[in-house]
Structure 1
């Protein structure tokens, strides 16, 4: 067993960029040893150079592949001192910004495999280490799991699913002294926007539709997102706290949007989304096409 017994041990998935990278660095500054997991290891080299391989331990892992998760579990069997894991930070994510009717089966499966099934598999396979340590599990949730933004229905569905799973897990792990935190995340400057163009046969493939689509694609950049570093400081503060919430709200507008969506009727929220993301003109064009088609019939 190679880890240092006196230090706390963390696993962070999706550690090669954005929130995962910032969380890994913040944990290292709080004297954790971190298994920094990602599909690409090269981007984490600056962290290794800054903190050394005794603190940052890069591990190549695709959480969407169950065999890789199981192999990682077997690796930890030999690595973890006392068979204890203090923190599992489930951060790896797959964005998916396309109209609901344009999502291919492959895109849908990929998004759910990473955002939902991969995290569930990690929790199940590593649970004994967390229970042994009375550790903490964290999920990078999203305000999208509460508010379904235009062209983000599949991504929203994955985040709503992981919110529900986190809450159930929070309840079931109480007797074991394991905390579960779901970070309902608002705007964070991570540069992971899905910038694929609309499919050529999309019902929104016309100038006004593309304008609305691009507005959604760049919504995080346009609304003063929180830096990943500030977000990480807040989340590590939640981890180090003795409090045991299910949901915490971090990132720009997370608290406001969660509260707003809980008190207003859905039709008002929907009207606000139409206005905010320039959908009015697109809807007028689509209604015009519908009228024209009826005339031709």
Structure 2
């Protein structure tokens, strides 16, 4: 049966995450929500029980899985999709020198190439609905955070691409929002493995610090509630906003800071939050001590 409601498809809707909060918020607004995730058993009880939520198994790295999702949405909505939210992604905490290139490519596959594949696949439905595309990037796209470089680079690529797609999709009637997500409480770090540094790593001396970053404690301290964040995002969709939307903890301050402050000041602010200068100093001291021993 074709739904008369507006429709939204959101990737990465596992319980406790940003996607789940977005799905619940759109559902509250009366949308027919296609809540997608790779493992459907991880959906929240609330979404599982909602009458206007369709739970779809979707692996955004699989062309066949994406095609099946397109056909299901097409059948349920009569060939329209009002909102597509590319939310799936993964965080990585690891020094660039120690990151296997294959693993870095896999991160880009999920954080950058998968959103492009989703846009291409769902474009006909978005165009038919004169809909809205939402791509979830990150503040890490703008702030070069030590040991988060591969992740930040993948999100920077997505932000640049999304801002470009805004111009390309506008004449087709599709509005594009690029989310620059700041601190939000979620389970994003549940799937971040503790850094397993190689034996010859220059960063073994700060292994405990890196493990602390990987558990999300520093990143998520005093972060914004995911449902509050979701309400801000859904409000932007309804207001007809396009372009970059900064959302999350201290989003306005972060946006102004990235625009107005020189890099040196931003680095000082970031250091105050993450306390990485003493750790970098330990690495430097360790390297120099090694040279003296040789």
The verdict on a shared fold, with TM-score over 0.5 as the criterion, is yes
**Deviates most, 140-149 or 190-199:** 190-199
Instruction: Measure how far apart 1:215 and its partner are.
Output: 4.2
Determine which of 53, 58, 68 is the counterpart of 1:56.
Answer: 53
Q: In structure 2, do the counterparts of structure 1 residues 63 and 49 end up closer, same or farther at CA, with 3 Å as the change threshold?
A: closer
Structure 1: which 5+ residue stretches go unaligned?
none
1:259 CA drift (Å): 1.9
RMSD: 2.0
1:134: which partner in 2?
Answer: 130
Unaligned runs of 5+ in 2: none
TM-score (norm 1): 0.90
> Which residue is equivalent to 2:203?
204
Q: 2-side partners of 1:294 and 1:25: how far apart?
A: 56
Deviations 1:236-277 (A, max 9, x none): 1111113x3300111002222232133222233234434432
The whole-number CA distance in structure 2 between the counterparts of 1:258 and 1:50 is 38
Sort the Cα spacing of 1:260 and 1:79 in 2 relative to 1 into closer, same or farther, 3 A. same
Tell me what 1:170 maps to: 166
Task: Tell me the TM-score normalized by structure 2.
Answer: 0.91
Q: Deviations over 1:169-228 (max 9, x none)?
A: 11111112211001111110002112413424332112x453255247422322x11111
Q: State the distance in 1 between where 2:47 and 2:220 align.
A: 29
In structure 2, C-alpha distance between the alignment counterparts of 1:148 and 1:50, rounded to whole Å: 41
Distance 2:197 2:207 in 1: 12
1:121 Cα deviation from its structure 2 partner: 0.4
Q: Is the 8 A contact 1:22 1:232 kept in 2?
A: yes
Q: How does 1:1-12 map to 2 (within 5 A)?
A: 2-4=1-3, 6-12=4-10
1:78 matches 2:78? no
Q: Where does residue 234 of structure 1 map in the other structure? A: 232
Q: Is contact 1:137–1:178 with CA below 8 Å preserved after alignment?
A: yes
Q: How many residues align?
A: 289
